[in-house]
Structure 1
Amino acid sequence: MAHLSDDQRGQLLLVAGLALAFVFIGLALVVNSAIFTENLASRGETAGSDGALAARASVEANVGEAVERANYYNESAPADAFKQSLRNVSTQTEYLSATSGSLVNVTYVDHREGERINGSIDQGDDNYTVVSDVERAPGANGTRGLAFNSSGLPDGSDPPLVVKVNDTSFVGDERSWRARIWENSSGVQVRTIRNGTTPSENRTEHCSVPSAAENRIQVTGGLVNDQPCDALRWTASGTNFWFGNGVLASNDEYAIHFENTNGVTGEFEVVVHDDGGLSLPLLSLSGDATSGDAIYDTSVRFVYDGPDVRYNTTVRVAPGEPDV
């Protein structure tokens, strides 16, 4: 066994200490480099994604308005009018985004045909079918933009106005979704009833919203006087009460009915998906109701080029469609 002198021991300790120092310095550099890189990446990704998502939300809102204007003002050729509006949306968005150092481009991809129906709620028949043989399409409810403007809802002493959706393969209330709507001193009341094929599947939900001079009930949008109504949306417990939920069992077709309409003042509008097999019995009931060609939904290509991120995706827009 070799014996070291005090000087040799000191030299050995010094060399070991220097070696450990270099190791610690190296580890510190590696760790700091990793943290710095991660922070840079997260900051860049967050900044870029925030800008892209904000631009996308703005584009979706503007495209939705373009769809609604095309349907309202151009019943004979809504698709042509929409494409022209979309070009304006893209041009304006590009101009505004360029001021912040980004580039946004929006182009038409496709759309699905629809039918827009509107008229007074009281059609002279207490109960009637608005439309039948409505077919759901992949990713689509089949009905959107169903809304009432009314200054005269039932006051609770009369039967409530009822919006009913039912699977056409069933009779009565089986496989149906119903929204009962009335008004009292507490405001507008909405009670939703969802019937399955067995009692255990039945569900009921209720909401109350302050009244307005003219009440607006956005049945498919889940809003009453611009306030969320759980009876037309998700409940606090997570139960789905959006328009027509739970109706279909054996096929993809359903009908929409209004009940207890006599004496109810106001107008309604709705857009339904038209696959070529729609039935519009309301039009033969009264000359007050009208219908016209419409865009049910549309897909547009959204491209965002920013200083931190490039975002390229297809966006589907269907204003007023239930969130199901």
Structure 2
Amino acid sequence: MADVSPFSRYEQDRDQSDRGQLLVLTGLMLAVTLVILAVLLNSVIYAENLGTRGSDIGGGDPVKTEKSLTVAAEDLMIEINQNSDSQDNHNALADDLEVEIIEWYEQANQYVVHDGDYSEIQNLETTNGVQIRQTSPGTFESADGEADPSWEVVREEDNARNYVVKVTDVHQTANNPDASELDTLSAFHIAAESDSNVWNAHIYHDEDTGNNVLAAEDGSDIIAKCDIDESNPTINFSASTVSGESCEAAVFASNLDSSYSISYENSDQIEGEYELTVDNPALENSEKFNGPGGGDPYAVSGIYSADIEFRYEGSQIEYESVIRVAPGKL
């Protein structure tokens, strides 16, 4: 018998309404859940971006300041060394460098440090060195008057940097020599030697191309070779370039460890100028070099390197480091 209760229709409508409300509630909860998941995902992505960028939370400020300070200190060291003469001793050069760095930092600090942050530099420590220079074109023979055109410029226990050679004339010619022919060729070459390996950079004039050539070899094989199509090239061994262009043969001592001697072989077969800085102040008194004004090559006091303690404090970061200043290290 059919249900004729007056409440049956009402109850059916109420059941349908409850189910509808349940569906709406379920949909709303699902939407809220999706929103929460989206917010969480965006938070994770944002946090990762902060971690990589750093600067948005102040982390980039000490890094930027440190990099700027390093570049400025290197430029100041180069300038002070270049302007040094026989009247400047190591203490005077170190004092000049400290004054210049502090002056630069005080001016720059007001632009790179945010409000409420704090930074400082302190305890500048310098390593004394000597600058070996030949500033007038001539052969690369030593100043000791010895007839031997082969001589040691830097000992194995010493370190060198800022090594630049300017070539004005090459005496020895060759015709695309291989490694064995280079070994017997009387061309000028720079010899870097460690306990177990050698690296030689030969400079000669190639008869076929009419160009000068820089060829690097390891005693048995040619490592790299660069044709030089200009008469007065500048070889920067610290930057691995020839007249500003990258040159694999100018990658100094590429097959050696950090400790090696540097010698000139057949130094009467080239003419030009050169300079390098060595961390051995005793070379100022070596018979191989003249004093300032005494002819080439000569040696003057210089700063080999410097260490600067750097500290930065901000609301969200504390940073400390020791900045190493040694421009043109080989």
What's the TM-score, normalizing by structure 1? Answer: 0.71
Q: 1:21 aligns with which of 28, 33, 36?
A: 28
Matched, 1:299 2:307: yes
Unaligned segments of structure 1, at least 5 residues: 137-141, 234-242
Q: 1:244 — aligned with what? A: 253
Quote how far apart the aligned CAs of 1:281 are: 6.2
Quote how far apart the aligned CAs of 1:162 are: 0.4
Once residues 314 and 85 of structure 2 are traced to their aligned partners in structure 1, the CA distance between those partners, rounded to angstroms, is 36
Quote how far apart the aligned CAs of 1:230 are: 1.1
Q: 1:144 — aligned with what? A: 161
Letter in 2 for 1:262: D
Once residues 42 and 94 of structure 1 are traced to their aligned partners in structure 2, the CA distance between those partners, rounded to angstroms, is 32
Letter in 1 for 2:226: C
Q: 10-19 or 44-53: which moved more? A: 44-53
SS at match of 1:282: coil
Once residues 227 and 308 of structure 1 are traced to their aligned partners in structure 2, the CA distance between those partners, rounded to angstroms, is 43
Once residues 67 and 97 of structure 2 are traced to their aligned partners in structure 1, the CA distance between those partners, rounded to angstroms, is 17
Once residues 187 and 60 of structure 2 are traced to their aligned partners in structure 1, the CA distance between those partners, rounded to angstroms, is 45
Q: 2:187 — aligned with what? A: 160
Q: 1:139 — aligned with what? A: none
Task: Report 1:1-324 matches (<5 A).
Answer: 5=12, 7-36=14-43, 38-39=45-46, 42=49, 45-47=54-56, 48=58, 52-72=62-82, 73=84, 76-99=88-111, 102=114, 105-119=120-134, 121-123=139-141, 125=147, 127-135=149-157, 142-154=159-171, 156-157=173-174, 159-167=186-194, 169=195, 175-183=197-205, 187-195=211-219, 202=221, 204-211=223-230, 214-233=232-251, 243-247=252-256, 254-274=260-280, 280=286, 282-283=288-289, 288-303=296-311, 311-322=319-330
Unaligned segments of structure 2, at least 5 residues: 1-10, 175-184
SS at match of 1:315: strand
Percent of paired sites with the same residue: 15
Q: 1:300 to 1:61 in 2, by over 3 A?
A: same
Q: 1:274 to 1:319 in 2, by over 3 A?
A: same
SS at match of 2:310: strand
Counterpart contact for 1:86–1:107, Cα < 8 Å: no
Once residues 28 and 43 of structure 2 are traced to their aligned partners in structure 1, the CA distance between those partners, rounded to angstroms, is 22
Larger Rg: 2
Counterpart contact for 2:130–2:280, Cα < 8 Å: yes
Counterpart contact for 1:187–1:210, Cα < 8 Å: yes
Q: How many residues align?
A: 290
Once residues 304 and 65 of structure 1 are traced to their aligned partners in structure 2, the CA distance between those partners, rounded to angstroms, is 22
Counterpart contact for 1:206–1:230, Cα < 8 Å: yes
Counterpart contact for 1:93–1:104, Cα < 8 Å: no
